[in-house]
Structure 1
Amino acid sequence: MSQHHQYDVLVIGSGAAGLSLALNLPESLRIAVLSKGELANGSTYWAQGGVAAVLDESDTTQSHVEDTLVAGGGLCREEAVRFTVENSREAIQWLIDQGVPFTREDGSELFHLTREGGHSHRRIIHAADATGAAIFNTLLERARQHTNIELLEQHVAVDLIGRRRLGESGKRCLGAYVLNRNSGEVDTFAARFVVLATGGAAKVYLYTSNSDGACGDGIAMAWRAGCRVGNLEFNQFHPTCLYHPQAKNFLITEAVRGEGGLLKLPNGERFMPRFDERGELAPRDIVARAIDHEMKRLGIDCVYLDISHKPADFIKSHFPTVYERCLGFGIDITRQPIPVVPAAHYTCGGVLTDQHGRTDMPGLYAIGETSFTGLHGANRLASNSLLECFVYARSAAADILAQLEQIAMPSNLPAWDASQVTDSDEDVIIAHNWDELRRFMWDYVGIVRTNKRLQRAQHRVRLLQSEIDEFYSNYRVSRDLIELRNLALVAELMIESALRRKESRGLHYTLDYPGQLQRAEDTILQPGTYYG
């Protein structure tokens, strides 16, 4: 039987952004943090490189801002960039205070800082090459120490509940319907504030570095609730994902190139200097397109990332995770180059928010990769993503705290109605549609695009949408069905956004419009004007 729950704050997503927000709220509040599967299944845990921040005396806020603006292809919102960078040191100090074991210089109390593509200084603070795991494990341990924070695994948000959904006037988020996979029922969660911290949508592509849950859930739910989305045409492809049939989605951290790793063709020839004077340290969009170009030009399956010219002890100490993982596949990176290919990695667009993470719907916040703050522009600068999680989680928590006394607990929310649906005996349709969607998105909405490819993708996704909507209306919801429904919607929004951009900028490169327009403008989609 379905249950009704009440919380002061409902956080949908258990990664860096969601946990940080929960930990920045007072212990007097009842907080629920939902995870679709196990708590560690999100993208945070697998982040290798680190967090970008101005921590060294030789570095400056202005330098970090300028690097971000350059990487963003003229499309970053400078006020968002400055806000993020100016709060970077304080965010890192908060993580240190939580107990995150960042790597220090040998025999020193100073933290070791590395450099990544697009950065003019060493400013990436890290925990060896497993920064995400170190941060996540620390924050999770802290959250478990707080009795007011409930960590709920196997809980999949289906849709947001707003006043309009209940037939009431005004616009406010009142909670969410959530599939409890333990009971099989859809429960009702009422909350004074709801926070979307669901990550990105890279699972829309056939090849991705992301975990299986990166399905754009928060973006889709916010859109259906009436929130605007922005810049969804900008999907970052990580240039160096390990190419091996059993590796699935293991990426090779950008820091390998930051510490001198070289990209080579099968014959051992370097190729990046032909594409950019910064070589291997060019921003990710340039490196990914260069690799894609060489693979297509030569008809090869991968290129190679070589750091074997560095001392073996240096490699093992700086990149223990990469070393051990590659060794498990028979690749000794101290002696051999690493086979790599680009893979979908990061969603630069998302739900429109302000400096406090507020969306178009009062009571609803979006933080982390699911949001569009304006920080990343047309291309995310390496390691700015985790920083954005912490800065905006803290800002959103402060905004929620300032409103607490004004907002009452929602009451009389109706239970989920499953009276008109039955159990499905055709789940093969879900698997087939999932596979078709990810394949045509990879083929037609990938690193290099054309109008014809985008139009073909648009036609395909709309046919899929009608099939999915019919299935959703007649059968009980499951995690697979919820994710497919969300992913197809976000794919459609990505395609529409790409069709609207009549230029090549940052991560959006189209053969039909190879030049860049003089004026940079965001692509903003409004529910009700584009999509019904």
Structure 2
Amino acid sequence: MDQYRLKTDYLIIGSGAAGLLAANRLAQHGKVILVNKGSFQDSSTWYAQGGIAGVLSDSDSTESHVLDTIRCGAGLCHEDVVEAIVNRGNAIIHELVEIGTQFDRKDGELHLTQEGGHSNRRVAHAQDATGKAISNALLSRIKPHPNIMRLEQHTAIDLVTSSRLGRTDTNRCLGAYVLSPEGKVLTIEAGHTILATGGAGKVYLYTSNPHASTGDGIAMAWRAGCAVMNLEFIQFHPTCLFHRQGSNMLLSEALRGEGAHLVDKQGRRFVFDYDERGELAPRDIVARAIDHEMKKQGADCMYLDARPMGEDLILDHFPNTHARLQQLCLNMLNEPIPIVPAAHYVCGGIQTDVHGKTELEGLHAIGETACTGLHGANRLASNSLLECLVMADYCAKDILREHVPDSPPIPSWDDSGIVPETERIQIKLNWDEIRATMAHYVGIVRSDDRLRMARRRLRVIREEIASYYWKHPVSQDLLELRNLAQVSELIIQSAQQRKESRGLHFSTDHSQTDKLASDTILRPDEP
């Protein structure tokens, strides 16, 4: 076979928790190619601090976890999905323990913490580096596996579908084109393709996400003909470090769960002005409170004061956070830490069922890149790792039940007619303008006028990118920029369709909640 052509049973794009568990499951039944555009440390899972939610104590119940999730979701959660995810959570967490995840323990039992929106202590964690602990455990299972080919530093370009190749049978995903580190384009044929590419936090100036979170899976699925759902609901984490050298450092919500206070420069705990739960209110309320106080006071940031927790608790449960802050000459033991809200999690995504099945045969999407209705209009803290892993489990089972029809080979990548780049300034300028536009016009608080202006600017930028894309060789920067622009426009378009305020979407022109409103669904063939 051509060295730039590969064939596999299962192609998985993305290697966070969802991709790793799916690879582990499917490798027992066939060949897997696992694609990651960075290293295995370049995922939101790796950086996840807080933990994974589950019903893990006698004082808690599945019904309580379901109710907390639905309450946080502001009326848009799909109850059947919530129940399916929560009911599978315990088994997944116990499996993580069995494969070596080093969760914190107290008196021999899992130590559980409580985060905003939860009515019980139900969050299992590994100090303040839970995602890293889970990733290491999952990686230990896939690294030596003979059925798994790992392609690190490879960037997916686009999905290949039968309809795009002019075939008149049922439209099906046949695989993908993938860019190698050397600049060669691989043609990968696959019986099944799974998108596990994470979120799109990099569309904003401030984000807790790693650089790789450019919405690749959402954009590729949209171009392949899949619907997207509820992309207006962008969760802003209330407490991202306000510091040039630590601009994507997250200060875990678990800090507030354990007693840290949110204060202004004068030391006043202002969140109680907005919600009686104070620091333990859901993230959307806390983030808006911080945003409002910053605007009201003309301040660049607010502060997280961990001193009420006490030195022993800080050093015992949050040693990594403390150490990294010290590297930036900040000491959470004796001073409040400057924070700002930052884009953290996309509650919307590619429309799927709980198994990750999309409208396109042969294509599944799991984890943050998918939207099942679990989160509704706002994600409950620590439900994200739960969703990633449970969806991966359900997805693998669903795929193994499917029959894969025979399909002729897909054509190799055609780069005829392209010309070398002479300069790359357009990529940088468009990247900067997209993120500035989204931050200023499509942030925590929105208005009809700002959304109109943002969409008008994005249309121009997308036209410029498309012209550049079809003239010049593909590169990771160009592919990410193309996806970033596409997802940004979809977020704006979704926000324009929601004529109310609900959960993570707050509009000054539509401040009331519409009891009849439902999911926002966009399809590629609609204007």
- TM normalised by structure 1 equals 0.97
- Structure 1 distance, partners of 2:436, 2:389, is 34
- Structure 2 distance, partners of 1:311, 1:518, is 44
Task: State the shift of 1:311 in Å.
Answer: 2.4
Q: 1:473 to 1:26 in 2, by over 3 A?
A: closer
CA offsets 1:204-253 (integer angstroms, 9 cap, x no match): 00111101111111001101111000000000000000111211200100
CA RMSD of aligned residues (A): 1.0
Contact 1:68–1:376 (Cα < 8 Å) also in 2: yes
The one-letter amino acid of 1:363's match is: G
Contact 2:68–2:119 (Cα < 8 Å) also in 1: yes
Secondary structure, counterpart of 1:160 in structure 2:
strand
What's the counterpart of residue 55 of structure 2?
54
Contact 1:191–1:410 (Cα < 8 Å) also in 2: no
- Structure 1 distance, partners of 2:205, 2:143, is 35
Contact 1:191–1:409 (Cα < 8 Å) also in 2: no
Matches within 5 A, 1:104-253: 104-105=105-106, 108-169=107-168, 170-181=170-181, 183-253=182-252
Secondary structure, counterpart of 2:120 in structure 1:
coil
- Structure 2 distance, partners of 1:480, 1:77, is 36
Matched, 1:482 2:483: no
- Structure 2 distance, partners of 1:26, 1:496, is 39
Matched, 1:528 2:525: yes
- Structure 2 distance, partners of 1:76, 1:39, is 31
Contact 1:72–1:381 (Cα < 8 Å) also in 2: yes
| Between 515-524 and 463-472, the greater mean CA deviation after superposition | 515-524
The one-letter amino acid of 1:148's match is: N
Structure 2: runs of 5+ lacking an equivalent: none
Q: 1:54 to 1:31 in 2, by over 3 A?
A: same
What's the counterpart of residue 510 of structure 1?
507
What's the counterpart of residue 95 of structure 1?
96
Matched, 1:453 2:450: yes
What's the counterpart of residue 12 of structure 1?
13
What's the counterpart of residue 25 of structure 1?
26
Task: State the shift of 1:408 in Å.
Answer: 4.5
Secondary structure, counterpart of 2:247 in structure 1:
coil
- Structure 2 distance, partners of 1:29, 1:175, is 16
Task: State the shift of 1:410 in Å.
Answer: 3.9
Contact 2:261–2:308 (Cα < 8 Å) also in 1: no
The one-letter amino acid of 2:239's match is: T
CA offsets 1:248-307 (integer angstroms, 9 cap, x no match): 200100000000111011001110111001100000000000000000000111111112
CA offsets 1:86-107 (integer angstroms, 9 cap, x no match): 11101111211221111101xx
Task: State the shift of 1:309 in Å.
Answer: 2.2
Secondary structure, counterpart of 1:331 in structure 2:
coil
Secondary structure, counterpart of 1:165 in structure 2:
coil
Secondary structure, counterpart of 1:507 in structure 2:
coil
Among 490, 495, 498, which residue is 2:495 paired with?
498
What's the counterpart of residue 469 of structure 1?
466
CA offsets 1:451-490 (integer angstroms, 9 cap, x no match): 0000000000000011001001100000011011111011
What's the counterpart of residue 269 of structure 1?
268
Q: 1:51 to 1:409 in 2, by over 3 A?
A: farther
- Structure 2 distance, partners of 1:42, 1:423, is 31
The one-letter amino acid of 1:521's match is: S
Matched, 1:34 2:35: yes
Q: 1:26 to 1:244 in 2, by over 3 A?
A: closer
Matched, 1:427 2:424: yes
The one-letter amino acid of 1:221's match is: M
Secondary structure, counterpart of 1:138 in structure 2:
helix
What's the counterpart of residue 65 of structure 1?
66
- Structure 1 distance, partners of 2:127, 2:352, is 33
Contact 2:162–2:173 (Cα < 8 Å) also in 1: yes
Task: State the shift of 1:2 in Å.
Answer: 6.4
Contact 1:2–1:185 (Cα < 8 Å) also in 2: no
| Between 34-43 and 444-453, the greater mean CA deviation after superposition | 34-43
What's the counterpart of residue 350 of structure 2?
351
- Structure 2 distance, partners of 1:211, 1:410, is 37
The one-letter amino acid of 1:93's match is: H
Contact 2:15–2:43 (Cα < 8 Å) also in 1: yes
- Structure 1 distance, partners of 2:187, 2:237, is 38
Contact 2:27–2:148 (Cα < 8 Å) also in 1: no
Task: State the shift of 1:145 in Å.
Answer: 2.4
Query: How many residues of Structure 1 are paired with residues of Structure 2 in the alignment?
Result: 525
Matched, 1:440 2:437: yes
Contact 1:447–1:507 (Cα < 8 Å) also in 2: yes
Task: State the shift of 1:142 in Å.
Answer: 1.2
Percent of residue pairs identical: 53
- Structure 2 distance, partners of 1:315, 1:274, is 27
- TM normalised by structure 2 equals 0.98
- Structure 2 distance, partners of 1:469, 1:79, is 40
Secondary structure, counterpart of 2:493 in structure 1:
helix
- Structure 2 distance, partners of 1:462, 1:426, is 23
The one-letter amino acid of 2:488's match is: A
What's the counterpart of residue 293 of structure 2?
294
Secondary structure, counterpart of 2:506 in structure 1:
coil
Contact 1:310–1:334 (Cα < 8 Å) also in 2: no
Q: 1:302 to 1:4 in 2, by over 3 A?
A: same
CA offsets 1:290-331 (integer angstroms, 9 cap, x no match): 000000000111111112123212110010111111111222
Contact 1:190–1:411 (Cα < 8 Å) also in 2: no
CA offsets 1:111-144 (integer angstroms, 9 cap, x no match): 0000000000000000010001111111112111
What's the counterpart of residue 410 of structure 2?
413
Q: 1:2 to 1:472 in 2, by over 3 A?
A: farther
The one-letter amino acid of 1:281's match is: L
- Structure 1 distance, partners of 2:104, 2:375, is 26
- Structure 2 distance, partners of 1:470, 1:415, is 22
Contact 2:10–2:26 (Cα < 8 Å) also in 1: no
- Structure 2 distance, partners of 1:466, 1:301, is 34
| Structure 1: 4+ residue segments shifted above 3 A | 408-411
- Structure 2 distance, partners of 1:3, 1:310, is 56
- Structure 2 distance, partners of 1:397, 1:28, is 10
